[in-house]
Amino acid sequence: MAEIIGYNGAVYFGEILPGVSDCDFHANGWSLDVGVNLHDTTDFCTTGWTEQISGLKNWSGSIELRVDDTNKVVPSDIGSTATLKLYYNDTNYLQGKAIFSGWGVNVSVDDLESQTVEFTGTSDLFSY
């Protein structure tokens, strides 16, 4: 099995920032978590183990951006919904509608200013 290096990854922000590429935003990382809600069905007949069934699926994550004085995400973008594409490489990506649910800025005397944008999925997540 071959390892995959991340430098071919990319982010597409969709309708929030049309016509702006991830290079304009200096995106340098993304993370994604996919999960399912579990519902406890344990009753008095248990043998000491919890019994559960799966429910609704969900996904969320974050995007890391280096900040300059142009094309940066601003707090007023939070709450916006867009088609989000998260690329593994030049051709393979995950796509779904997401709401931008959080924003943070990181400032340090010994490093570049950066932003973290959090998102929460509002649709199916498709793999291409």
Q: Write down the CATH number for the domain with range 6-33+54-127.
A: 2.40.30
Confidence at 44, pLDDT banded by 50, 70, 90: very high
Beta partners for residue 82, in sequence order = 98
The strand ranges marked E within 44-87 are 52-66, 81-87
Query: Domains of the chain: which residue ranges?
Result: 6-33+54-127
pTM tops 0.85: no
pLDDT per residue over 19-40, tens digit each?
555 555 678 889 999 999 999 9
pLDDT per residue over 48-74, tens digit each?
999 999 999 999 999 988 877 765 677
Alpha carbon 117 to chain centroid distance? 8
